[in-house]
Amino acid sequence: MAKEIKIKAELRREQGSGAVRRLRRQGVVPAVINRIAGGSTMMQVNAHDFENMLRHHSSKQLLITLELDGQNVPALLREVQSDVLSGHTIHADFGEISLTRKLRVSIGLRLVGEPDGVKNEGGILEQTLRQVDVECLPADMVEFFAVDVSALKLGQSLAVSELNLGDQYTLLSHGDVSVATIVAMAEEEVAAGATPATGAAAVAGPEVIIKGKKEEGEAGEAAAGDKKAGGDKKAAPGGDKKAAGGDKKK
pLDDT of residue 1: 54
- Provide mean pLDDT across the span 164-170: 95
pLDDT in tens, 198-239: 333 333 333 333 344 444 445 455 555 554 444 444 444 444
- Could you tell me the pLDDT band of residue 241, with boundaries at 50, 70 and 90? very low
pLDDT at 89 over 80: yes
Question: Who wins on pLDDT, 20 or 95?
Answer: 95
Does the structure show a pLDDT above 50 at 194? Answer: no
Q: What is the tens place of the pLDDT at every residue in 15-43? A: 788 888 888 999 999 999 999 999 999 99
Residues 46-71: tens digit of each pLDDT: 999 999 999 888 777 789 999 998 99
- Confidence at residue 249, expressed as pLDDT on a 0 to 100 scale: 45
> What's the pLDDT tens digit per position in 106-125?
999 999 999 999 999 999 99
Q: Which residues pair with 29 in a beta bridge?
A: 45
Lowest-confidence region among 10-24, 75-89, 163-177: 10-24
Looking at residue 203, its pLDDT comes to: 36
Pairing of strands 89-96, 28-34: parallel
At 14, the pLDDT band (50, 70, 90 cuts) reads confident
pLDDT at position 4, please?
78
**For residue 155, what pLDDT band results from cuts at 50, 70 and 90?**
very high
Residue 240: pLDDT over 60? no
Mean pLDDT (the chain, rounded): 80
The pLDDT, as a whole number, for residue 20 is: 85
Other CB atoms within a 10 A radius of the CB of residue 23 amount to 16
Tell whether the model's pLDDT for residue 244 goes beyond 80: no
Lowest mean pLDDT, pick from 127-136, 183-192, 241-250:
241-250
Give one DSSP letter per residue of the chain, joined into a string: -PPPEEEEEEE----SHHHHHHHHHTTEEEEEEE-TTSSEEEEEEEHHHHHHHHHT-S-SS-EEEEEETTEEEEEEEEEEEE-TTT--EEEEEEEE--TTS-EEEEEEEEEES--HHHHTT--EEEE---EEEEEE-GGG--SEEEEE-TT--TT-EEEGGG----TT-EE-S-TTSEEEEEE-HHHHHHHTT--HHHHHHHHHHHHHHHHHHHHHHHHHHHHHHHHHHHHHHHHHHHHHHHHHHHHHH-
